[in-house]
Amino acid sequence: MQVTRRGFLKLSGGLSLATFATGLGINMAVAADRGYALKLDGCTKATSICHFCSGGCGLLLYIKDGKLIHLEGDPDNPINEGSLCPKAASLEQVAYSEERPKTPLYRAPGGTEWQEISWDDAIERIAKKAVEVREKTWVKTDEITDAKTGEKKVVPANRAEGIAVIGSAEIDNEESYLLSKFARLIGTPFHEHQARI
Ligand code: SF4
């Protein structure tokens, strides 16, 4: 008999629970089924992808009345086969934690306090700052030495050395493409991506 990883985990988990419960005189199979059904009763199930890293693990989300009730690894996803790392297991907190900032925060130069600002205000500040930094750090030419003749010459450079662009595990192919275009448009040679695998 061929045992898959998923099958093995189910089998070994089931055996340990059954052994423990038999000693207490409880039918765990029925209890587990009913508990699971009650918690997820009336939930809509949706598949999704963990946004924390480029691993792209699959998720099953259980939603009731517009609120995430439960999440777990998707056993049918070939990447994680039902498993999740601790970051994804705590994903619910990203949606509902009281600690989560809900608006952009601004701290003035030299200031010690953060203040909440609107998205329009934040975007305008970032755009103005990007233009200012680009102008200040623009390198128009480079002086290079010819490897064969030793002669020095000035060549066009046209790059913004004060700006860097970094991608995210949360962005998809199309967004990465646009980000690359943006990096070249503003002229920065510093273009990196966050990847975990
Ligand atoms: S390894 Fe963890 S953080 Fe990365 S995609 Fe999978 S569950 Fe998410």
How many A from CA of 58 to the centre of ligand 1? 9
Per the CB < 8 A criterion, the answer to whether 78 and 89 are in contact is no
Task: Please state the φ and ψ torsions of residue 97, each to the nearest 5 degrees.
Answer: -65, 140
Which CATH class name applies to 42-98? alpha beta
pTM over 0.75: no
57 lines ligand 1 (CB under 6 A): yes
Residue 19: predicted pLDDT = 47
Residue 114: predicted pLDDT = 96
Can you give the residue ranges of every domain in the chain? Answer: 1-41, 42-98, 101-130, 137-197
Residue 53: predicted pLDDT = 81
- Residue from 80, 94, 171, 197 to probe ligand 1 pocket by mutation (most atoms less than 8 Å from CB): 80
Residue pLDDT tens, the chain, 197 long? 565 666 655 655 554 544 444 555 556 566 666 655 677 889 999 999 888 887 889 999 999 999 999 999 999 999 999 999 999 988 888 888 988 888 999 999 999 999 999 999 999 999 999 999 999 999 999 999 999 999 999 999 999 999 999 987 777 788 889 999 999 999 999 998 876 54
Q: What is the dihedral of CA 10, 47, 59, 1, to 10 degrees?
A: 30
Residue 17: predicted pLDDT = 47
Q: For 145, left (φ over 0), alpha (ψ -120 to 50), or beta?
A: beta
pLDDT digits (tens, 9 = 90+) for 94-129: 888 988 888 999 999 999 999 999 999 999 999 999
Per the CB < 8 A criterion, the answer to whether 50 and 84 are in contact is yes
pLDDT digits (tens, 9 = 90+) for 56-66: 899 999 999 99
